[in-house]
Amino acid sequence: METIKKGSWVRIYDVVLKSTERSPNLPEDTKKVPLEMWNKGFLQKDAEIGDRVTVKTLTNRLVEGKLLEENPTYTHSFGKFVPEILPIGRQLKDILRGGEEDA
Amino acid sequence: MHKDTSYEAVMSRRGEIMKKAVGIDYGSFELAGVAFDYEQMMRKTGYSLEQVQKIQRSTGVGNTPLLELKNLTALARKFSPKGKGARIFIKDEASNPSGSYKARRASTSVYHAKKNGYKGVIAATSGNYGAAVASQAAMHGLETIVIQECYDSRGVGQPEIIEKARKCEAYGAEVVQLTVGPELFYTFLTTLEDTGYFNASLYTPFGIAGVETLGYEIAMDFRELEGKDPDAVICTNAGGGNLTGTARGLIKAGAENTRIIGASVDLSGLHMASDTEFNRKSFTTGHTGFGMPYATWPDRTDVPRSAARPLRYMDEYYLVSQGEVFFMTEALAQIEGLERGPAGNTSLAVAFSLAQEMDEDQTIVVQETEYTGAGKHLQPQLSFARENGIEIFRGNPQEEIPGKNIILPSHPELIKVRPVDLKKMKTSYVKNTVKKNAIEQFSQDEMVFLQEEVKLDKVKLEAILKDLSIKY
Ligand SMILES: Cc1ncc(COP(=O)(O)O)c(C=O)c1O
């Protein structure tokens, strides 16, 4: 496996509370799963994906967790096109112009 | 030397941790029994309106444009009875530095943290508030940590929340992301203890005082534009700070006759702490999952006494569906040329429907907009809903079932708000007070407090107590 170098910007993962340690007042589905955490920071030692590591976060805190990825990327977007939205604008303009819409 | 960090141990240190992290002695405002001196708390620990204006001016917050939505008004009049169809205005809060009214709420907290020598601030929020705190902290040279509830147990996150994480990081904040559950509070406490940072809570007097300028500006802008006060101001309502601060600002401006209206997206039936239902909703704020519990029991927040107490100010409260808000978001872009985020348009959907019942010489102000972008936009939010098995189609929005479908109105005429029975909410507030405090009988002083808390005269409050068979 590829080694990720000390100082790299990485994303980590950890379990904060096991399902048995969670608050007693939870819906059944939530009770069954652990409380999990993700954070990002600078890797403190060379490591491989999956290793337990320490990172220094943007506020200079040392946080431990499992190494997930290097240079984590934002992948949120405008999603897949939702065709149901398209006719709305044309319909409203038609109504404003006094015609009846056929959208 | 190491402190016990088990769940129970940390929770039991809660009071001590919070006191250090907000620096307010809440005990000094407590009165006999269930009562406390709300106005004294706001005066002693908040900032005056003039001070807040000064703080906000120095960080580019506030003084946002007030725009008239002429085309939306014209559209509403197409479906109004003769002589009806109030004029709709909007306060474009998206033009604040971080893209929402939350910049106002963060400005005073972060200023206060800086003044009191804190090195950083922490906020527990999945919403616009994180970006607001991070932006203000960047201006003041403070560190920021934002703690978000973001993912379900599959690791799938709401696109809107992921976008907000990106925005926080864009301002240099550390973002801690968690799966669903109220134990976020545990992580919040350990992080406060670990760093000694200031808790930029949404619910301190600092935050609410920061929102008062919004109500004040609306009154002032409106008088300049129209020479009178607006007939109604509509506030998107979740935790209640938006409505509370705005209403207080309007009152400070002397706009005593303006109706204060709350608006929330109807998510009834979805459990907010449920892992499997988390991604079956398409709104992460401004919805009933916060609106109802926070109004009927405000002191459920991270601080002992919440400064957000919407039942003190709310004259009316209406619900709209997710589909109606998405439709109005598209309408705002298409016929008004304003592309803004969906959650902030909850109050716009309510305005569009209410305008049709109000006289045409009357006026409504929608008190905010919020920024939009990847993830935080009707397109990705609807696309995400569809991927999570929610049916999306055009039809009658009154038939929408939260968590099952989202119905985009097939015609704007079908947008119809549903009034909430405020008397029921006030009754529920009283019931919660009785239950949480094991009350057998209310004293005269407590009765005065309760009247203010639920905005009722003595006779109406007594009627509720009689219905509940509670002595006073
Ligand atoms: C854009 C926007 N509008 C309205 C609200 C609701 O504010 P509050 O929680 O104070 O009721 C929020 C807060 O989450 C928000 O971000």
- Please name the residue whose Cα sits nearest to atom 7 of ligand 1: B242
A22:B183 CB<8 A = yes
| A35 domain-assigned | yes
Q: Give the tens place of pLDDT for each residue, A25-77.
A: 899 999 999 999 999 999 999 999 999 999 999 999 999 999 999 999 999 99
B273:A40 CB<8 A = no
Q: Give the CATH number of the domain where residue A29 resides.
A: 2.30.30
CA distance B348 to B93: 13
**Residue B446, domain extent:** 428-467
Shared domain check, B451 and B407: no
The one-digit pLDDT tens for each residue of chain B (472 residues) are: 578 988 999 999 999 999 999 999 999 999 999 999 999 999 988 899 999 999 999 999 999 999 999 999 999 999 999 999 999 999 999 999 999 999 999 999 999 999 999 999 999 999 999 999 999 999 999 999 999 999 999 999 999 999 999 999 999 999 999 999 999 999 999 999 999 999 999 999 999 999 999 999 999 999 999 999 999 999 999 999 999 999 999 999 999 999 999 999 999 999 999 999 999 999 999 999 999 999 999 999 999 999 999 999 999 999 999 999 999 999 999 999 999 999 999 999 999 999 999 999 999 999 999 999 999 999 999 999 999 999 999 999 999 999 999 999 999 999 999 999 999 999 999 999 999 999 999 999 999 999 999 999 999 999 999 999 999 9
Token pair listed for B151 = 């993912």
Shared domain check, B257 and B364: yes
| B298 domain-assigned | yes
CA distance A20 to B244: 39
Shared domain check, B293 and B441: no
Q: What is the pLDDT of residue B395?
A: 98
Token pair listed for B73 = 């008004």
B74 vs A: CB within 8 A? yes
| A101 domain-assigned | no
Q: Return the number of other C-beta atoms located less than 10 Å from residue A95's C-beta.
A: 20
Q: Which phi and psi (to 5°) does residue A73 adopt?
A: -110, 145
A23:B187 CB<8 A = no
**CA dihedral for B392, B393, B394, B398, sign (positive or negative):** negative
| B442 domain-assigned | yes
Residues of chain A found within 8 Å of residue B162, distances taken between Cβ atoms: 74, 76
In terms of pTM, does the model score above 0.80? yes
CA distance B417 to B396: 13
* Alpha-carbon gap: B245 to the closest alpha carbon of chain A (Å): 31
Residue B469's closest CA among B448, B429, B444, B442?
Answer: B442
| B157 domain-assigned | no
* Alpha-carbon gap: B335 to the closest alpha carbon of chain A (Å): 7
| B164 domain-assigned | no
Does ligand 1 lie within 6 Å of residue B100's CB atom? yes
CB A22 within 8 A of CB A35: yes
Token pair listed for B241 = 């700070």
| A79 domain-assigned | no
| B316 domain-assigned | yes
B16 contact partners, CB below 8 Å, separation of at least 6? none
Does ligand 1 lie within 6 Å of residue B93's CB atom? no
What number of residues does chain B have? 472
| B50 domain-assigned | no
Does ligand 1 lie within 6 Å of residue B284's CB atom? no
Q: How many domains does chain B have?
A: 2
CA distance B235 to B125: 19
Q: Burial of A81 by CB count in 10 Å (0-12 exposed, 13-18 middle, 19+ buried)?
A: exposed
Q: Give the CATH number of the domain where residue B285 resides.
A: 3.40.50.1100
| A38 domain-assigned | yes
| A10 domain-assigned | yes
B342 vs A: CB within 8 A? no
CA distance B412 to A103: 13
Shared domain check, B300 and B265: yes
A79:B384 CB<8 A = yes
B374:A76 CB<8 A = yes
| SS3 assignment, position A66 | strand
Which residue in the set A37, A74, A95 is minimally distant from B166, CB to CB? A74
A84 vs B: CB within 8 A? yes
Q: Does the ipTM surpass 0.90?
A: yes
- Please name the residue whose Cα sits nearest to atom 2 of ligand 1: B344
B179:A33 CB<8 A = yes
A78:B374 CB<8 A = yes
B376 beta partners: B373
CA distance B75 to B78: 5
Shared domain check, B280 and B230: yes
Q: How many domains does chain A have?
A: 1
Shared domain check, B237 and B277: yes
Mutate to test the pocket of ligand 1, among B102, B206, B260, B261 (most ligand atoms within 8 A of CB): B102
Token pair listed for B60 = 């580019």
B166 vs A: CB within 8 A? yes
Q: Which phi and psi (to 5°) does residue B232 adopt?
A: -145, 145
Shared domain check, B360 and B229: yes
**Residue A35, domain extent:** 1-73
Q: What is the pLDDT of residue A100?
A: 57
| B232 domain-assigned | yes
Q: Return the number of other C-beta atoms located less than 10 Å from residue B40's C-beta.
A: 12
Best residue in B5, B70, B180, B278 to probe A by mutation, most A CBs within 10 Å?
Answer: B180
Mutate to test the pocket of ligand 1, among B285, B294, B368, B372 (most ligand atoms within 8 A of CB): B285
Angle at B91 between CA B88 and CA B96, to 5 degrees: 160
Residues of chain B found within 8 Å of residue A83, distances taken between Cβ atoms: none
Window 406-465 of B, Cβ < 8 Å to A: 408, 411-412
* Alpha-carbon gap: B155 to the closest alpha carbon of chain A (Å): 9
| B397 domain-assigned | yes
CA distance B338 to B344: 12
Shared domain check, B461 and B374: no
* Alpha-carbon gap: A44 to the closest alpha carbon of chain B (Å): 17
Helix and strand numbers, DSSP H then E, in chain A: 2, 4
| A97 domain-assigned | no
